[in-house]
Amino acid sequence: MTAPEPKLVIPVVPRNAPKAIVIGAGLGGLSAAMRLGAKGYRVTIIDRLDRLGGRGSSIAKSGYRFDLGPTILTVPDVFRRLWSDCGRDFDADVNITPVDPYYEIRWQDGSKFQIRDSQKDMDAEVRRIFPSDFAGYQRFLKDCEKRYTFGFEGLGRRPLNKLWDLVKELPGFVALRADQSVYQHAAKRVKDPRFRMALSFHPLFIGGDPRHVTSMYILVSHLEKEFGVHYVQGGVQELADAMGRVVIDQGGQIIPETTVDQILTKGNRVTGVRLETGREINADIVVSNADPGQTYDHMLRQHSKKRWNKSRLQSSKWSMGLFVWYFGTKDTSNEWSDVGHHTILNGPRYRGLLKDIFDRRLLADDMSIYLHRPSVSDPSVAPKGDDCFYALSPVPNLKAADAVDWRQETAVYTEKMRKVLEQVMPGFSEKIAAEHVLTPDDFKSRYLSPYGAGFSLEPRIFQSAWFRPHNISEDFENLYLVGAGTHPGAGIPSVVTSSEVLNQLVPDAVEKVCT
Ligand SMILES: Cc1cc2nc3c(=O)[nH]c(=O)nc-3n(C[C@H](O)[C@H](O)[C@H](O)COP(=O)(O)OP(=O)(O)OC[C@H]3O[C@@H](n4cnc5c(N)ncnc54)[C@H](O)[C@@H]3O)c2cc1C
């Protein structure tokens, strides 16, 4: 994929241009707003938070900046293309730096495996730890590339709201064995249980259970290998703020700390939104970056829906919840030198733990942790000499009738996590100077995420592509959807790509001037 040179001059949108409302300033909503501004709409973004970025926002405590969500940026070209579509240069506005090793995976037996940027280094690492699986690994890489070409470049960047668009692609799905899960595919290629984990855990990055998510998603490994792993200097908040500046420069406006209660309709068209305060704002088109569950079930509660009615939403599979402990530590920048920017700490179980999280919906005593240490790459996250971390553990979402009561469980679970982390960073708990915790309860209250899910609908085969909420509503002709719960799915590259799809569905509002 190549990012084109900027080739359009986008005029500042005139005051009498058609109006677009974007509900939600997540990366999906912000990228949609930028593209609508470039199309000539007067854009208003409304978000309930006090800052931009949604799950990619940050909070500050005692001099530490806690970047709450995404830490890994793959496929930066989706942003270069977005900026270019707005007549601007991404690299002039945002500073991203490559990270190598991408991450280190550790197991309970003490073994460590680094995912490296160069294929030569990667091959050496595989030969060192999994010598008998080397041939299978090479086949796996080829499998990933094929699925990337078909799934990401092919299907991911086009609208898939017509059944025929999917039916045409069925032979491709069959040929690529989309019926197999990511785990089954990895297990077919390699034998070592640790390597099976290392090649199959990626769906967890986008909310899916590797035992059930279609093997098409092994394409994520190819995204990393082909486009690298990057860090946004200043955190993803910086990226979101840069997106907001483009929207303002285009003549758009952003209304923070404001919740949309209802989408207003007339016949088969939407006419604007009603805020929780009762104020109404009209618009020619509305784009919802809120979760489709909330969009259909709450904001359109007065209407019957063709597809995404209450019972369908309830019977859908939702991604897991997340428990995230953010902490800053005093005078530790020279300690735990073997802990890099990204580390995955496996607990004693892999498939058993997935079963507890996704099937049994039980909070297990053991856990696997993704440990983020941004201070390795970005001194701005902590006071000089200090460190900043987050430790993330996938947990059940809140869908079970007897869901975890996080008011009771937060302190208990934090203590369990502390014990695991003490083995990796001895003495860290005494050095903590600031901390913050997010549980599924917070995902529900902060982002209005159904069941407190971390990533909206799980990306199972019958909840992907045409089966996922479409980017244009079936119910109202000028209502559009972007973001993690829509096609193509969760994760930064996909939510930005959902605005590429939107771009193909929304008519231009004014003529663009070509240079
Ligand atoms: C802890 C964590 C780590 C992650 N790590 C990575 C990573 O390393 N790499 C990666 O690529 N992806 C990662 N992801 C996934 C990625 O962050 C998300 O898929 C993506 O940011 C979602 O963007 P979005 O635009 O769909 O929605 P969101 O970010 O959820 O934004 C939706 C916005 O809508 C607002 N909103 C909702 N309802 C209303 C309403 N009624 N009125 C007004 N506003 C409303 C919310 O406040 C929110 O700001 C991670 C996610 C999490 C949670």
For the segment 434-446, the average pLDDT, to the nearest whole number, is 98
For ligand 1, whether the C-beta of 155 sits within 6 Å is no
Query: Which protein residue's CA is at the shortest distance from atom 46 of ligand 1?
Result: 447
Q: Name which residue leads in pLDDT, 13 or 201.
A: 201
Is there an atom of ligand 1 within 6 Å of 487 CB? no
Nearest alpha-carbon partner for 75 in 491, 371, 464, 457: 491
The predicted pLDDT at position 10 comes to 58
Q: Which residue has the least CA distance to atom 44 on ligand 1?
A: 47
- Evaluate: CB of 281 within 6 angstroms of ligand 1: no
Q: Which atom of ligand 1 is nearest to the CA of 484?
A: 26
pLDDT in tens, 124-145: 999 999 999 999 999 999 999 9
Which pLDDT tens digit goes with each residue over 24-35?
999 999 999 999
Q: What is the mean pLDDT of residues 474-488?
A: 97
CA 29–ligand 1 middle distance (angstroms): 9
- pLDDT band for 176, please (50, 70, 90 cuts): confident
How far, in Å, are 181, 277, 448, 471 from residue 208 at the CA level? 11, 36, 20, 21
Q: Say if ligand 1 is within 6 A of residue 490 CB.
A: yes
Q: Is the pLDDT of residue 514 over 90?
A: no
Q: Can you tell me which residue has the tokens 């908040």? A: 237
**What percent of the chain lies above the pLDDT cut of 70?**
97
Give pLDDT tens digits for 187-222.
999 999 999 999 999 999 999 999 999 998 898 888
Nearest CA to ligand 1 atom 4: 70
pLDDT for residue 350: 97
Q: How many angstroms does the Cα of residue 376 sit away from the middle of ligand 1?
A: 24
Dist. CA 136 → ligand 1 center (Å) = 35
Q: With the C-alpha atoms ordered 359, 365, 366, 368, is the resulting torsion angle positive or negative?
A: positive
User: How far is CA 297 from each of CA 261, 282, 446, rounded to the nearest angstrom?
Assistant: 11, 21, 18
260 Cβ inside 6 Å of ligand 1: yes
**453 CA to middle of ligand 1, Å?**
11
Most confidently predicted of 1-15, 288-302, 498-512: 288-302
Distance 282 CA to ligand 1 centre (A): 25
Q: What is the number of the ligand 1 atom nearest to the C-alpha of 455?
A: 19
Nearest protein CA to atom 41 of ligand 1, as residue: 260
SS3 assignment for 315-362: HCCECCEEEEEEEEECCCCCCCCCCCCEEEECCCCCHHHHHHHHHHCC
**Higher-pLDDT residue of 515, 372:** 372
Would the CB of 195 count as within 6 Å of ligand 1? no
Tokens found for residue 341: 């920017």
- Whether the predicted pLDDT of 354 surpasses 50: yes
pLDDT at site 16: 86
What is the distance in A from the centroid of ligand 1 to the CA of 23? Answer: 13
8-54+235-315+459-514 has CATH 3.40.190.10 classification: no
* Closest residue by CA, ligand 1 atom 39: 290
User: Once rounded to an integer, what is the mean pLDDT over residues 18-26?
Assistant: 98
Tokens at 290, concatenated: 């809120």
Residue 466's CB is within 10 A of a number of other CB atoms, namely: 18
- Residues 353-358 have a mean pLDDT of 98
CA of 56 to the centre of ligand 1 (A): 6
Q: In this model, does residue 515 exceed pLDDT 70?
A: no
Look at residue 512 in the predicted model and tell me its pLDDT: 45
Q: Where are the beta strands (DSSP E) in 427-506?
A: 432-438, 479-481
Q: What is the average pLDDT score of the chain?
A: 94
What one-letter code names the amino acid at 143?
Answer: D
With the most atoms of ligand 1 within 8 angstroms of its CB, the residue from 55, 276, 480 to mutate is 55
Q: Could you give the C-alpha distances from 179 to 10, 173, 214, 341, in angstroms and in order?
A: 44, 8, 6, 35
Nearest atom in ligand 1 to the alpha carbon of residue 299 is 41
Does residue 340 register a pLDDT over 70? yes
Closest ligand 1 atom number to CA of residue 322: 1
Query: What pTM value is reported for the model?
Result: 0.95
| pLDDT for position 442 | 98
Read off the tokens for 444.
Answer: 């529900």
Q: What is the pLDDT at residue 125? A: 97
Give the H or E element holding residue 23.
strand 19-23
How far does the centroid of ligand 1 lie from the alpha carbon of residue 54, in Å?
Answer: 5
How far apart are the C-alpha atoms of 512 and 188, rounded to whole Å?
Answer: 51
Cβ(495) – ligand 1 distance below 6 Å:
yes
Asked if the model's pLDDT at residue 155 lies above 90, the reply is: no
* Backbone angle region of 275, left / alpha / beta, with phi > 0 → left and psi within -120 to 50 → alpha: beta
Q: Is the pLDDT of residue 52 over 90?
A: yes
Tell me which of 49, 273, 289 to substitute to probe ligand 1's pocket, judged by most ligand atoms within 8 Å of the beta carbon: 289
Strand ranges inside 184-339, DSSP E: 230-232, 253-255, 260-266, 269-275, 280-282, 285-288, 321-329
Q: Please give the Cα distance from 276 to 259 (Å, whole number).
A: 6
Q: Following CA atoms 178, 157, 475, 257 in sequence, which dihedral angle do they give, to the nearest 10 degrees?
A: 110
Q: In the chain, where are the structural domains located? A: 8-54+235-315+459-514, 119-224, 320-447
